[in-house]
Chains A and B, each alone.
Chain A
Amino acid sequence: DVVVTQTPLSLSVTPGQPASISCKSSQSLLHSGGKTFLYWYLQKPGQSPQLLIYEVSSRFSGVPDRFSGSGSGTDFTLKISRVEAEDVGIYYCMQGIHLPYIFGQGTKLEIK
């Protein structure tokens, strides 16, 4: 199975400051059709996961533009330009091209 590694596992950020999470895959997530199947989800406390970013860099409907995704092949990054209190939770990346789909370990974001 593909191995997906997220770093760091925890972040403590002052409101208004940026945050960055890395996600590395053991295999390329680039499909022959040109799309790269890397997703970012946020699980807020007590809630189900919600999709933030799909195909590396496309924001899902309703996701604020302070969230951005980048990367290619096997290395990806989620950036929050200015962290807000409502951004607390656990962020997961997921590779969605090789079965079984694999999630990263999760990165817990806390507010200082």
Chain B
Amino acid sequence: EVQLVESGGGLVQPGVSLRLSCVASGFTFSNYWMSWVRQSPGKGLEWVANMNQDGSEKYYVGSVKGRFTISRDNAKNSLYLQMNSLRAEDTAVYYCARDGIIRGDYWGQGTLVTVSS
């Protein structure tokens, strides 16, 4: 059974950093692109970033470029999102999703990031 479990969310002040993690199981993690998608409270879905199997290709939505970094550790079946210079508008539930030939076929349960002073 494919499982994706996010962690690392919390309440932080504007301007600080936070690192999210996503641990994958039930499939060969190193064979898949992976994505981060977020959902602000009461709002729709926004794709944030994705990366390929070996980390040589990474893509970001414009609003996070230069502030967020996606990375992975295939030995640990883990995906990460390093978020720097956090802003109030980054407040959201962050989901990791498998991004293979079928985009977003499996999603985690999400982790809530709240940026507030």
Residues on A facing B (Cβ under 8 Å): 1, 37, 39, 41, 43, 48-51, 54-55, 60, 90, 92, 94, 96, 99-106
Contact = CB atoms under 8 A, between A and B. Distances in A.
B103 A39 contact: yes
Interface in B58-117: 59-62, 95, 102-110
A10 to B, nearest CB: 13
Contact of B44 (A51, A96, A106): A106
Contacts of B44: 90, 92, 103-106
Q: Which of A48, A60, A106 has the most chain B CB within a 10 Å cutoff?
A: A48
The SS class assigned to the B binding surface is: strand
B103 A60 contact: no
Given A99-B59, A100-B62, A50 B107 contact: yes
A101 B104 CA distance: 11
A90 B45 CA distance: 11
B46 interface: yes
Q: How large is the interface on B (under 10, 10 to 19, 20 to 34, 35 or more residues)?
A: 20 to 34
B47 interface: yes
Contacts, number: 56
Contacts of B107: 48-50
B102 A103 contact: no
A105 B59 CA distance: 22
Nearest to B44: A106
Interface in B14-50: 35, 37, 44-47, 50
Contacts of B35: 101
Contacts of A96: 103-104
A50 B105 CA distance: 7
Nearest to B59: A99
Contacts of A50: 107
